[in-house]
Chain A
Amino acid sequence: MSERFVVVGASLAGLRAVQAARKAGFSGPLTLVGGEEHLPYDRPPLSKEYLRAGEEGAADPTFRTEQELRGELDVDLRMGTWATALDPAAQVIGLSDGGELDYSAVVIATGARARTLPGTEELAGVHTLRNLDDAIAIRAALDAGARTVVVGAGFIGSEVASSARKRGLPVTVLEALPVPLVRSVGEQMGRACAALHLAHGTDLRCGVKVTGLTARDGRVTGVSLDDGSTVPADLVVVGTGVLPNTEWLAGSGIQLHERDRGILSDATLCTGPPGVYAAGDVTHFPNPLFDGLLMRLEHWTNAAEQGALAARNALNPAEAKPAAAVPYFWSDWYDSRIQFVGIPQAEEIRVVSEELGEEKFLALYRRGERLTGCISIDRPAQIMKYRRMIMQRKSWAEALEFTGL
């Protein structure tokens, strides 16, 4: 039987998986399959620093050089190649170049792709922001002074809006919901985020529905709304969520979530068949720290931690450990940093900063008698202290006492 360890997907989770496999002592053949031509690179800067104006050009977000990956880690790199099929019985992965890879263990880290506006894929000036090539195109449009319209006031869209405003460009953000982010962080927090847009001159319009785009000579000229108006645009960035990349698993028997077709892993990130593990944005997993609540996270730290964990578990299933981290993400808007730890599904959200008469936003989330989440704006010293309290399963009463209430 083959001894090969295959990692499918060459972003952060995939990179961490190959690094962890070597660190765990695996010395056999190790193959990293990545659909993009680029070596693994860091995505958070793509909507932030990468879009900043500057003579010197954008900093290269590549994580490791080819020499480090091929030479030091002895990884068989297959960039520009994507997996097309998985046969867990034969333990074989099909590739887009017609080749096949047999394996003894595999980590699936194919991530997710951005949702697009249907029918606009061929239009110049319309982008999603997920990949380096997207960021290169958006940066060029901002350099040209584009009137920017962002569809969706989520985190990615709001970061793009911030970057465009920092360049002094006119920016409109269109959001279908009455309050941005209401589903991910709650209504009061959503309002606090909306206030950041308004304070920096971004034209945030909530409760509007995009009905289509206007174009001339194959290039976008505006965004049409359901009230009959059109917002002029040279650049349209669509940030309306993602779809897990799992189509290639059709027929493999790997269980997918009925709602979003993300993989359904167990707490150790095993997908079911022996040796097949998953990590990062592509997979749901029951988090034991939150009573087995099923979650699929699109966070940097989650991809990093799960990539490494999935590799270690795949190499040593008898001693597999659960993925039991406290979720953490951050988002940089204008000159502010939003940080969230824990889970947003709550029975109660208390805006502690308001109760204490403090200017900088801080809210706590409760489930049962436990502290299960915390969100803050520009309070970097405190967020990890709340994260630790969530990890230690501290009670709601203890958390409130810690805040000074």
Chain B
Amino acid sequence: MRIVVDRDKCTGLGMCEAEAPDLFEVQDDGTLKVLNDCPGSADREAAESAVMACPTEALSLVED
């Protein structure tokens, strides 16, 4: 599983960080840093919550 960020859609609202602080962190300039873009199965639920919570639908999960 890999996390993909659509940088054109992301505006750094931070809901992903709220849902999954181990995976995402918004930076001072508002850009999103993915802390771990290939999370293990333990983080799957948090990653899915982050995708669902994003107000701009900028996140997706890709199965490799």
Contacts and interface: CB of A to CB of B under 8 A. Distances in A.
Interface of A: 42, 44, 300-301, 304-305, 328, 330, 337, 339, 379-381, 383-384, 387-388
A337 B30 contact: yes
A381 B27 CA distance: 5
Interface in B1-55: 11-15, 17-18, 21, 25-30, 52-53, 55
B18 A381 contact: no
Grouping DSSP codes into helix (H, G, I), strand (E, B) and loop, the B interface class, with mixed when no group exceeds half, is loop
A384 B28 contact: no
B14 A301 contact: no
Given A380-B12, A384-B26, 12 more contacts: A42-B55, A301-B15, A337-B11, A339-B14, A380-B13, A380-B26, A380-B28, A381-B26, A384-B18, A387-B18, A388-B18, A388-B21
A301 B26 contact: no
A119 B52 CA distance: 42
Contacts of A379: 28
Given A330-B13, A383-B14, A384-B17, A304 B53 contact: yes
Contacts of B26: 380-381, 384
How many B residues are at the interface, by size bracket?
10 to 19
A300 B27 CA distance: 22
Nearest to A391: B18
Contacts of B11: 337
B15 A381 contact: no
A383 B27 CA distance: 11
B55 A380 contact: no
Q: Which 3 A-B pairs have the closest CB atoms?
A: A384-B14, A380-B30, A384-B17
A72 to B, nearest CB: 16
A379 to B, nearest CB: 8
A219 B35 CA distance: 55
Contacts of B25: 381
A44 B13 CA distance: 12
Given A44-B55, A301-B53, A337-B30, A380 B15 contact: no
A309 to B, nearest CB: 12
Contacts of A337: 11, 30
5 contacts: A379-B28, A380-B27, A381-B25, A384-B14, A384-B17
A315 B17 CA distance: 29
Nearest to B19: A384
B51 to A, nearest CB: 12
Contacts of A381: 25-28, 30
